């Protein structure tokens, strides 16, 4: 699978879009990347089960770079709650390793596609409804945050997302201000991505029929192009988050996610 000009353009456009969304909505972009990378790889002859797995792993690898760029912009505005990052990160590491080293390697790609589609559909519904938490609810104690971090890391590893679709609603539910939740989610994306990528590389080592330029389940050409493009646009999204009507944008984005969820469900059920 050669990196021809059309492929570079497709991956660059995907990186531009997902990088901007990462900064704007506090997501790592996996919800957008996984379906499109699956389409790109399938169109170039990669089998459906392997295409889904590599799309999930490659999406997660790009989040390492997107999150760094996004969190830098949010940190300058003093919006990151580093105390929450410290409390959630140990659980995130544990959950991510269990997911990427164990469950991800054992499940077939079509099952992962179904899990991804259901998860995205649920996330889109939560985003669309924009439910408000009870005014007295607060973050749980240390044990509760350890468990929450474990759930975030585990689910992120299964679907190739940076955790924003779990961590932002969780923090909002606990009455963390939305701009702090978005910024903190961006910071959490880095430990999620690094730990899961390690698992994807180890579990994908020696898998047959991997395309050229693969590192475990990670497709390096896509990683390089998307990472560069998303790194450049994530700060633009972070700045826009403080100026645009994010609640309205979320509903528009949720509508797009329903279509992507439907595609991944179809892919999983028909592969």
**DSSP labels, 196-258:** HHHHHHHHHTT-TTPPTTEETTEEHHHHHHHHHHHHHHHHHHHHHHTTS-HHHHHHHHHHHHH
Asked whether the whole model's pTM tops 0.85, one would answer no
Q: Report how many domains make up the chain.
A: 1
DSSP 163: S
What Cα–Cα distance (Å) separates residue 157 from each residue in 42, 153, 191, 196, 233?
Answer: 21, 6, 11, 6, 24
What is d(CA 229, CA 208) in angstroms, rounded to the nearest whole number?
30
Q: Are strands 214-215 and 218-219 parallel, antiparallel or unpaired?
A: antiparallel
Residue 2 CB-density burial (10 A; 0-12 exposed, 13-18 middle, 19+ buried): exposed
Smallest CA-to-CA distance from 156 within 130, 119, 186, 126 is with 119
Provide the H-helix boundaries in the chain: 5-25, 30-43, 48-76, 82-97, 104-106, 109-129, 142-159, 164-173, 178-204, 220-241, 246-270
What is d(CA 213, CA 265) in angstroms, rounded to the nearest whole number?
28
Range of the domain at 208: 5-270
* Angle formed at CA 270 by CA 264 and CA 271, multiple of 5 degrees: 85
- Record the tokens describing residue 65, joined without a space: 């770079």
Q: Which pLDDT score is estimated for 84?
A: 93
What is d(CA 106, CA 124) in angstroms, rounded to the nearest whole number?
27
Whether 252 and 42 have beta carbons less than 8 Å apart is answered as no
DSSP 160: T
DSSP 138: -
pLDDT along the chain (271 residues), means of 10: 81 88 68 86 88 91 80 84 93 93 84 86 78 68 90 86 76 83 86 92 90 92 90 80 73 78 84 64
Query: Residue 152 — φ and ψ, nearest 5°?
Result: -60, -50
């Amino acid at each position: 699978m050669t990196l021809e000009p059309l492929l570079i353009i497709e991956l660059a456009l995907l990186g531009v879009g997902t990088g901007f969304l990462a900064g704007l909505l506090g997501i790592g972009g996996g919800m957008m990347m996984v379906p499109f990378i699956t389409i790109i790889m399938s169109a170039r002859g990669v089998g459906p089960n392997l295409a889904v797995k590599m799309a999930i792993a490659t999406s997660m690898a790009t989040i390492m770079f997107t999150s760094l760029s996004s969190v830098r912009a949010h940190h300058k505005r003093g919006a990151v709650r580093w105390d929450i990052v410290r409390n959630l990160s140990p659980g995130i590491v544990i959950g991510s390793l269990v997911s990427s080293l164990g469950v991800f390697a054992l499940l077939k790609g079509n099952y992962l596609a179904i899990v991804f589609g259901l998860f995205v559909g649920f996330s889109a519904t939560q985003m669309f409804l924009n439910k408000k938490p009870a005014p007295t609810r607060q973050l749980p104690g240390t044990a509760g945050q350890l468990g929450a971090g474990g759930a975030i890391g585990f689910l992120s590893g299964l679907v190739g997302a940076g955790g924003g679709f779990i961590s932002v609603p969780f923090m909002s539910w606990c009455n963390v201000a939305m701009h702090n939740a978005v910024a903190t989610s961006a910071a959490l994306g880095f430990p999620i991505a690094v730990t899961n990528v390690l698992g994807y590389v180890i579990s994908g080592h020696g898998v047959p029929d991997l395309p050229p330029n693969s590192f475990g389940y990670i497709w390096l050409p896509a990683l390089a192009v998307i990472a560069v493009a998303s790194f450049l646009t994530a700060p633009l999204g972070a700045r826009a988050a403080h100026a645009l009507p994010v609640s309205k944008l979320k509903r528009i984005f949720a509508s797009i996610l329903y279509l992507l969820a439907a595609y991944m469900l179809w892919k999983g059920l028909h592969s």
